Structure 1
Amino acid sequence: MILPALGLLIAAACTHGSVALLMEEPYGHFGSFNPTGHAAIYLNHVCAETPTQLRACRPGELGTVISRYHKIHHEDWIAMPLVAYLYAVDDVTQVPASVDKEQADTIREAYWRAHLQELAPPKPDGSVPGGEWDQLVGESYIRKMHGFQVDTTPEQDERLIAYYNDRRNVGHFNLFVHNCADFSRALINMNFPGAVHRSILADLGITTPKQVAKSLVKYGNKHPELHMTAFVIPQVPGSIPRSHAVDGVAESVVKSKRYILPLIVLQPEFAGALTVGYLTKGRMTLPKNATIFNPGDIEQAEDTPEPAGRRPLPPDTPPIPASPATPAATPTPSPAPPV
């Protein structure tokens, strides 16, 4: 069974608004080199009229995933429908039970031909272009995602739609000061000022997906009325290599012999500072019982007005858990995890 969490995630759209951070695991060779992963935001009551124009969702619509990307049509942010973002299809009945790389590429190409040629124009011969457009669709084929979700109000959703529709959407991605995690930080802070912040000790001041998750969980601990919940969207089964755990900046250096050993020899003070930063501010434990969904549950969930299943973070969740939460069904208010 893949993604049992989606049914509850969809059910949330029938009840209340929410914003969820998706902390997405790194994958492949680049993921080994830069294990900080990717950050995106799922909004269950905000939909994409186009990839660069937002509106309130209509009944039955499932919301949008929005993030900052590098060199896709010169845009700063792009919004994609939830099912397309996860599986590169229009309907959950088309989601495969398992995939290999060739199948995943074929599914993504079909979605590109149907919907994305304006964002990623074809080559002169009509073939699929290069570039990074494939980051917009079928993400669950290549990596696992962890989510943290909190409630939003209609006023917050309306303000967010107006803000992103009115501002200039011009890309100026920068890995160090203007990356995907910075985008998620700014969006969350629009609704909850001061909720998410950078960490000098854990990440040398660079915003990372893990730091956004840690900050949001800490904020949720202080505001139980936001009903912080956790969810997991597993990587679709198949022969595609599994994604890796998400690390922060200091953590990635300390845990890698190829980085930390030369630093110990050449810059022992810096190596010591990184180790202290990781041990004091960089660690994070993911909730072990976060909700997991199956895409086949989505249609049933749409007809269920009050589904059970949005799972509050467990009381014994460590002070700084590291797993974002998927939008799930309307929860019964419960104590947030300890801070």
Structure 2
Amino acid sequence: MAAKYTKSIVFCLIALIAALPGELKAQATLLLEEPYSYDGTFAGTGHAAIYLARVCAATPTTLRRCQPGESGVVVSRYHHVGGRDWIAVPLIPYLYAVKDAASIPLFADAKLVEFLRHNYLQENMSEEARDMGPRAPSNQLAGSAYDRTTYGFRFATGPDQDDELIRILNSEPNSEAYALLNRNCADFAKQILNFYYPHASHRSIIADLGVTTPKQIAKSLVRSAKHHPEMQLTTFVIPQVPGLKRSKPVHGVVESLVLAKKYVTPVLLFHPFVVGTVEAAYWAGWRFNPTKGALIFDADNAHTWHRLDLPLTNAERRSYQEELASLKRDVRQDGVPGWREFQASAQPEIDGEGQTFLRGDVNGEPVRIGICRDNALRMNAPPEILQDLVLTRLEQELKPKPARASKRQVEQDFSLLQRALDERKAELGH
């Protein structure tokens, strides 16, 4: 009981800090992004980037101070993207490949993600994204949140520091210089972190064999913040948009090579002492949990950073799961078209408000369904398809670890589901 009480106090204090006035609020964030696809299967080190809330982009390779209402940029080092060392992308497009939070889809598949990325990059970053396709390196520039969960470590910066960083990045050469072992994305993020707070982040000779990894710089930043309260460090989660295969936990180099199941057996056969030593060191101090004390990011308020919500408690999650189970009987019925079936054959398009919808057929009749929160009920899709869409989204949001949603976000989805149920009842009543 005491542990739960203490945990509640900690979360409340974090939320209070997140709501402090603007002049005290942190203005930059280390983004620790989980691995997916081949990286998730073989390496597992993920990606690192820096979000700068007061810095915007005159072009993808030229920085400037933000104007009122602008939400800043994400900067990172890339490999084989536009021939550049670093590229800056506005926050919402970087995460969701759309221009504003209202256009973020409720659910995504590979077809939709490719469509959104292609549209955004062609319209806004055609020079940097010359090669397009499902596996093009330029995909890293937009729509990160469809592929993976991201952990944010937000820290305070000063306006003068931001101006100096802009000057440095704009004045130095920006030609591709990526090198896996000593000039990777984590090295770039580390340089910016140490620009703001000298020695705040460093590599690990033992845990990562001297290679700078995203997990290590996040871990060292958190440790540094414990000794430097002026950093005002706040940790949060940017959940992966429901739809695609879930990303994998982020690892360091040795952790990936030795502790992952696919490597343990062959290494243990030849080097059992190495495995035992590394495992002991891992549990003694290498272990780092980026979700500890983390709040939930809400894109609806991304431009002000005023919305970092508490994650669902276990009791709240169980309660919502029970409520969802009772609704499934009303939503999923034999003979009623489902969301997955419709999505598989439908094609994405953009409506007049710049929001995405799917065009397809149901029982031979043309149907359009809005897949953003604002346009979901504006089109002619049968309500049962929208119901199943929101139900499918909620099923993923309510899964346990890692945290995927806040109470506010889940309540919004239940409200949308209820509105769709009401529409269906109204149709049946006529």
TM-score range normalised by the length of the shorter chain: 0.7 to 0.9
1:167 aligns with: 172
Structure 1 129/37 Cα, relative in aligned 2: closer, same or farther at 3 Å?
A: closer
Matched, 1:227 2:222: no
Note if contact 1:201-1:277 (Cα within 8 Å) is conserved in structure 2: no
2:222 aligns with: 217
Q: Secondary structure at the match of 2:266?
A: helix
Q: Secondary structure at the match of 2:74?
A: strand
Given the alignment, which residue of 40, 62, 81 partners 2:71? 62
Distance in 2, matches of 1:296 and 1:259, equals 42
Q: Secondary structure at the match of 1:235?
A: coil
Distance in 1, matches of 2:28 and 2:133, equals 33
Matched, 1:296 2:305: no
**CA displacement at 1:13 relative to structure 2:** 10
1:317 aligns with: none
Distance in 2, matches of 1:197 and 1:289, equals 22
Given the alignment, which residue of 178, 188, 197 partners 2:202? 197
Given the alignment, which residue of 35, 43, 46 partners 2:52? 43
- Counterpart of 2:72, as a letter, is G
Structure 1 139/13 Cα, relative in aligned 2: closer, same or farther at 3 Å?
A: farther
What is the root-mean-square deviation of aligned Cα atoms in Å? 2.5
Q: Secondary structure at the match of 1:107?
A: helix
**CA displacement at 1:292 relative to structure 2:** 1.1
The equivalences for 1:1-339 within 5 A come to: 15=23, 16=25, 18-121=27-130, 131-238=136-243, 240-298=244-302, 301=304, 307=306, 309=308
Segment of structure 1 superposing worse, 53-62 or 14-23: 14-23
- What is the number of residues matched between the two proteins? 294
Distance in 2, matches of 1:287 and 1:81, equals 25
Cα deviation code 1:286-320 (max 9, x no counterpart): 34442213323347x58xxxx57588xxxxxxxxx
**CA displacement at 1:133 relative to structure 2:** 0.5
- Counterpart of 2:30, as a letter, is L
Larger Rg: 2
Which is helix-richer, 1 or 2? 2
Structure 1 17/147 Cα, relative in aligned 2: closer, same or farther at 3 Å?
A: closer
Cα deviation code 1:56-103 (max 9, x no counterpart): 111000000000000111111111000110111112211111111111
Q: Secondary structure at the match of 1:157?
A: helix
Gaps of at least 5 residues in structure 1 are: 1-7, 312-322, 324-339
Distance in 1, matches of 2:307 and 2:75, equals 27
Segment of structure 1 superposing worse, 201-210 or 248-257: 248-257
Gaps of at least 5 residues in structure 2 are: 1-15, 311-401, 403-430
**CA displacement at 1:182 relative to structure 2:** 0.7
Q: Secondary structure at the match of 2:87?
A: strand
Structure 1 203/57 Cα, relative in aligned 2: closer, same or farther at 3 Å?
A: same
